[in-house]
Structure 1
Amino acid sequence: MTGPNQTPDATGEVADAVKGNWVDRSAPAWSRPYLRLSRADRPIGTWLLLLPCWWGLLLSMLHDGRATWHDLWIFTGCGIGAFLMRGAGCTWNDITDRHIDGSVSRTASRPIPSGQVSVMQALAWLVAQALVAFCILLTFNMAAIILGIISLAPVCIYPFAKRFTWWPQIFLGLAFNWGALLAWTAHSGRLEWPAVVLYLAGIAWTLFYDTVYAQQDAEDDALIGVKSTARLFAERTPTWLQRFLIGAVSLMAIAVIGAAVGGSALAVLVALIGPWAFGWHLFWQLRQFDMQDDPTLLRLFRSNRDAGMLPLPFFAAALFV
């Protein structure tokens, strides 16, 4: 089944993937459908899952005033784990949405609705990714392991959220920003309130970028009865994006202050440049926003990798002042 404006590409390429990506260009042919299930041809999702992990790790190090060699493994493990768990989550999403995806022009070319992969093959691929990610999780402390296991709940619920709420982006935010809690705890061994505030900042950020992303599907979603904030807000979307921007930046700033308490005033000031730079990028996106221009919407969504990267050098620099 295909969308009203599209038939699956004979090469198996997915419509909204980056053209000329490494999967389409270099991966062995047998592996491409599975890598496409994992969105390896669209790395932005891995970045959006990973960046809150790195925020949480750096702010936890700032809060404790120390860094260890194990933190280097946490940094690396979060990167590998984000790739795997994003892949597992996307595979789960495609399994649960296989009938919906076939009715939406942007998603009809995905591996399951286009017939490249069966549901059973997708399930096996999901389990394989999750097991490797679990092995990485086991290298962290017990508190982080427990948090990692709990994170499966929002991951499992998210694909169904658009069927019962106009706010599925909240469930995506709950899942995608869990790394802020996990990485903080992996370093410190305990979950503290600045990590929770940082987590809330990430959820507000997700509401911002995924509302932008969902605008691309608003018409198709309306036809098939799928809910989203993009449909809910309609013409008021810019106003809501501004609210999410303010919430994300304010909450991140509070988390930074809470993490840096007890340190030098200079460290606090340096770390606070991070939320300011992050907010500047979101404001730039808001100025570019055009809900009728799908290529611009996709470009803005992908630019959130850069937005999420901006706080990192300032969080890191604050460790040394």
Structure 2
Amino acid sequence: MFTRNCISVYKFIGKSYPKREVSFSKYYKIGGAFSCNRLFATSVTAEDGRSKQNIAAKLVDKAPKQLQPYLRLMRLDKPIGTWLLFWPCGWGIASAAAPGCLPDPYILTLFGTGALIMRGAGCTINDIWDRDIDAKVERTKDRPLVNGDVSLKQAVLFLGGQLSIGLIILLQLNWYSVFLGASSLALVISYPLMKRFTHWPQLVLGFTFNWGALLGYSAIHGTIDLATCLPLYISGICWTIIYDTIYAHQDKTDDLRLGIKSTAIKFDQDTKFWLSGFASMMIGNLILSGVMCDQTWPYYTAVTLVATHLASQINTLKINNPTDCSKKFVSNSNVGLILFCGIVLGTLFKKDRKQTKEYIQSIPVQLQVN
């Protein structure tokens, strides 16, 4: 439906790349400024009695009283889940950009809005399914559906509104992407039920939360390049298993009492071994994706930073310390950001490398005759 022009850095910086010092320090504040936790469901700190509020929570507190229960139902006060849902979308969109071009800002904005709405819909679905369980857990007993601020009927109607907005956003894309996006709805609806039947709900969450890596790419090209997108999607799934397993260790006592299953319970004391394996798979697939789409050195630098971050995170993880698990979980937003920046910068440098190759190939070969 939409044909959008490439946004090239050459419009702004010419044909050469000046050396610049890039600092990620300010970006590392994202996880802290927007401190929150469970993707579809929970927060880093206790949902009651927080001594420090994040910016989003303060905004929700200032909203009209009648709207606040709905804003909390969609976890608008805990936006890290939105970030973790958005980053794979950003990876796909940035990977689809033409060499030397920035990712399309309109598509990024569209997917950012969609991530906000659909993460909220996922939270609402989660609370509808889990309302009886949430009432038995101290941390979740004050959620809107449990404490009576929102009735089941109101929650269902609110969910319908969120899904309608999500559909409107989806319809702005090409038809290939529309059908691809709609096909993920089954995952969104079924994920909250998985912890009742399997120790691998984090795997299903990985399928769900990283669908945007495929959808973001198809939104630009109207199709999927499996050689590039499939490794990227698999790496995202591995990443989700890592960070949500870390989070699940906070709830394992309550989960065991209530019969809830998770990879944290399955891995138990072997968690670091399992997470190291998934981290290796993630990095391997990121390298493969980069090779398949002819990425340049900034991308591989970002992958190295991601690998370093994950290694440090896993090595220092204290699975029986909820506070440490919370901090480790939140830090994963930085992983998504670093990789996104790496894909963007790597794509910008593609054109420069292509021009260099073309110049070298244009030099006539002189044959020396002895």
TM-score by length of 1: 0.89
Secondary structure at the residue paired with 1:216?
coil
Question: Within 2, Cα distance between the matches of 1:239 and 1:65?
Answer: 38
Give the alignment partner of residue 132 of structure 1, picking from 140, 144, 165: 165
Task: Tell me the alpha carbon deviations over residues 134-180 of structure 1, each in whole angstroms, 9 at most, x when there is no partner.
Answer: 11111111111111100101111101101111100011111100000
In the alignment, structure 2 segments of 5+ residues that lack a partner are 1-45, 350-370
Equivalent residue number for residue 204 of structure 1:
238
Give the alignment partner of residue 216 of structure 1, picking from 250, 270, 274: 250
Question: Within 1, Cα distance between the matches of 2:139 and 2:283?
Answer: 31
In the alignment, structure 1 segments of 5+ residues that lack a partner are 1-12, 261-266
Secondary structure at the residue paired with 2:199?
coil
Instruction: Give the CA deviation at 1:26.
Output: 2.0
Q: Which amino acid aligns with 1:196?
A: L
Please tell me whether residue 242 in structure 1 is matched to residue 276 in structure 2: yes
Instruction: Give the CA deviation at 1:213.
Output: 0.5
Q: 1:18 to 1:88 in 2, by over 3 A?
A: farther
Q: Which amino acid aligns with 1:309?
A: L
CA contact (8 A) 2:99 2:348 kept: no
Q: Which amino acid aligns with 2:290?
A: V
Instruction: Give the CA deviation at 1:230.
Output: 0.6
Instruction: Give the CA deviation at 1:17.
Output: 7.3
Please tell me whether residue 177 in structure 1 is matched to residue 210 in structure 2: yes
Q: Which amino acid aligns with 1:53?
A: C
Q: Which amino acid aligns with 1:240?
A: W
Instruction: Give the CA deviation at 1:14.
Output: 2.8
Q: 1:185 to 1:24 in 2, by over 3 A?
A: closer
User: Percentage identity across aligned positions?
Assistant: 38
Task: Tell me the alpha carbon deviations over residues 176-223 of structure 1, each in whole angstroms, 9 at most, x when there is no partner.
Answer: 000000001001111111112111110000000000010111010101
Secondary structure at the residue paired with 2:144?
coil
Task: Tell me the alpha carbon deviations over residues 44-86 of structure 1, each in whole angstroms, 9 at most, x when there is no partner.
Answer: 100000000001111111xx437589x2211110100000000
Secondary structure at the residue paired with 2:153?
helix
How many residues are paired up?
300
Instruction: Give the CA deviation at 1:23.
Output: 4.3
Equivalent residue number for residue 109 of structure 2:
76
Give the alignment partner of residue 309 of structure 1, picking from 327, 337, 355: 337
Q: Which amino acid aligns with 1:198?
A: L
Flag the structure with larger Rg: 2
Task: Tell me the alpha carbon deviations over residues 228-253 of structure 1, each in whole angstroms, 9 at most, x when there is no partner.
Answer: 00111111111111111111111112
Question: Within 1, Cα distance between the matches of 2:148 and 2:290?
Answer: 47
Moved over 6 A (4+): none
Question: Within 1, Cα distance between the matches of 2:162 and 2:116?
Answer: 9
Equivalent residue number for residue 254 of structure 1:
288
Q: 1:85 to 1:17 in 2, by over 3 A?
A: farther
Please tell me whether residue 167 in structure 1 is matched to residue 195 in structure 2: no
Q: 1:211 to 1:99 in 2, by over 3 A?
A: same
- Structure 2 counterparts to residues 7-156 of structure 1, below 5 A: 14-15=47-48, 19-20=52-53, 21-61=57-97, 64-65=98-99, 67=101, 71-156=104-189
Question: Within 1, Cα distance between the matches of 2:322 and 2:50?
Answer: 14
> RMSD of the alignment, in Å?
1.8
- Structure 2 counterparts to residues 231-310 of structure 1, below 5 A: 231-260=265-294, 267-310=295-338
Equivalent residue number for residue 11 of structure 2:
none
Larger mean CA deviation between 268-277 and 163-172 belongs to 268-277
Task: Tell me the alpha carbon deviations over residues 16-39 of structure 1, each in whole angstroms, 9 at most, x when there is no partner.
Answer: 979422245322221111111111
Secondary structure at the residue paired with 2:249?
helix
